[in-house]
Structure 1
Amino acid sequence: MFTGIVEATGRVTAVDEGDDGRRLRIETDDIAAFSHGQSVAVDGVCLTVEEHGTGWFSVFLAEETVARTSLAGREEDDRVNLERALPADGRLDGHIVQGHVDTITEVVAVEQVGEDYRYTFTLPEGHERYVAEKGSVALDGVSLTVASVDDDAGTFDVALIPTTHAETTLGAREPGDEVNVEVDVVAKYVERLDTYQD
């Protein structure tokens, strides 16, 4: 489990394409050590560390991950958000994030409002009902609050504080860019339970 509080960003330094998926090597100076088999969220996607060394680790993206997430388009020198799994005694400062990306969405507009930044995204097709004003959503692994939803326009807005804008990859996103979306898992379970009520 993750919280959507990004620990650091990393840089993709190698991409290995294969018939069964992709392998990424990622470098970061901000996380001291990795271990084989540990879970790490890369742009919000829960992946397993295969190999690692000082300041780097590698992960494998299965076909499903490539098909469903924006990691299919990550190339050398791209920056990615990183978060290690939440320890049992850790603080849940964001919201419950599983690292199971539901789909991708697109940046529609970016506007600076005072010191903050307002980002507009398309409502993710098939997942519109899970995006609610003042609800939680993870975008590229960043825990955010939905500021507003415009069902007629098919968009929703989030506000980024200066720290989030500067310290995550969202600050570099522009209209037309794709980002990973994980909707609030609590909303999905509530809907599922409601389906089976008498």
Structure 2
Amino acid sequence: MFTGIIETLGTIQELKKEKDNIHITIDAAITTELKIDQSVAHNGVCLTVVAIKNNSYTVTAIDETIKKTNLGEWQEGDLINLERAMKLGDRLDGHIVQGHVDQTGTCIDIQETNGSWLYTFEYDEKLNNITIEKGSITVNGVSLTVVNSKKNEFSVAIIPYTHEHTNFKNFKVGSKINLEFDVIGKYVSRLNQLR
């Protein structure tokens, strides 16, 4: 379980394909605090630490994860948003995030406003995911509040701190991003489908 509050950025050092899997080695400031078998969210994707060496650690993504996320487009040198799992008893500063990406989306507009940024994303409505105005959404692992909610698109307003300390600063129109929709909203949506 995560909160969507990014701890740090990591840099992809190596991508190694093995059958349908990809082993991803990341250099990160939090590496010395990690242990084997620990869950870490990478751009919102929960992956398990399988090896640690010096300031780098390795996680493995299986085919199912690669298909549902933007992980197949990652390249060596890319900056990745990182968050370790939430500790029981800590404040929940973001919202309840599972680290299970529902689908990818595409950045379709970026507007720099007077001191902040407005990013707009589009997603495939056929997968029955929804957003609501002022509801929660996770974009590349970042917990955000939805604005301008529409049937298959939404916007988020980004403050300077988030812009500087996440990989939002690297987004361009056309960037493919990972989306995890609000878990409570997913349950409500599913219940309505069963009626």
**Shorter-normalised TM range:** over 0.9
Note the 1:13-52 alignment, pairs <5 A. 13-30=13-30, 32-52=32-52
The match for 1:181 is 179
Question: Is contact 1:8–1:31 with CA below 8 Å preserved after alignment?
Answer: no
Whole-Å Cα distance in 2 between the matches of residues 127 and 90 of structure 1?
33
Query: TM-score normalised to the size of structure 2?
Result: 0.94
Larger deviation, residues 127-136 vs 33-42: 127-136
Question: Is contact 1:39–1:48 with CA below 8 Å preserved after alignment?
Answer: yes
Unaligned ranges ≥5, structure 2 = none
The match for 1:114 is 114
Question: Is contact 1:38–1:48 with CA below 8 Å preserved after alignment?
Answer: yes
What's the offset of the Cα at 1:52?
1.0
- Seen in structure 2, the aligned counterparts of structure 1 residues 65 and 146 have a Cα distance that, compared at 3 Å, is same
Whole-Å Cα distance in 2 between the matches of residues 30 and 161 of structure 1?
24
Question: Is contact 1:33–1:55 with CA below 8 Å preserved after alignment?
Answer: no
- Matched residue SS, 1:187: helix
Larger deviation, residues 118-127 vs 54-63: 118-127
The match for 2:164 is 166
Counterpart of 2:19, as a letter, is D
Counterpart of 1:9, as a letter, is L
Whole-Å Cα distance in 2 between the matches of residues 170 and 47 of structure 1?
21
Q: C-alpha deviations, 1:71-103, integer Å up to 9, x for none? A: 111111011000000011211100000000000
The answer to whether the aligner puts 1:12 opposite 2:12 as a matched pair is yes
The match for 1:78 is 78
- Structure 1 runs of 4+ aligned residues shifted over 3 Å read 193-197
- Seen in structure 2, the aligned counterparts of structure 1 residues 127 and 91 have a Cα distance that, compared at 3 Å, is farther
The match for 1:94 is 94
Question: Is contact 1:119–1:159 with CA below 8 Å preserved after alignment?
Answer: yes
Q: Taking every aligned residue pair, what percent have the same amino acid on both sides?
A: 38
- Seen in structure 2, the aligned counterparts of structure 1 residues 196 and 127 have a Cα distance that, compared at 3 Å, is closer
Counterpart of 1:57, as a letter, is Y
Note the 1:183-198 alignment, pairs <5 A. 183-195=181-193
Note the 1:141-152 alignment, pairs <5 A. 141-151=141-151
Counterpart of 2:191, as a letter, is L
Query: TM-score normalised to the size of structure 1?
Result: 0.93
The match for 1:137 is 137
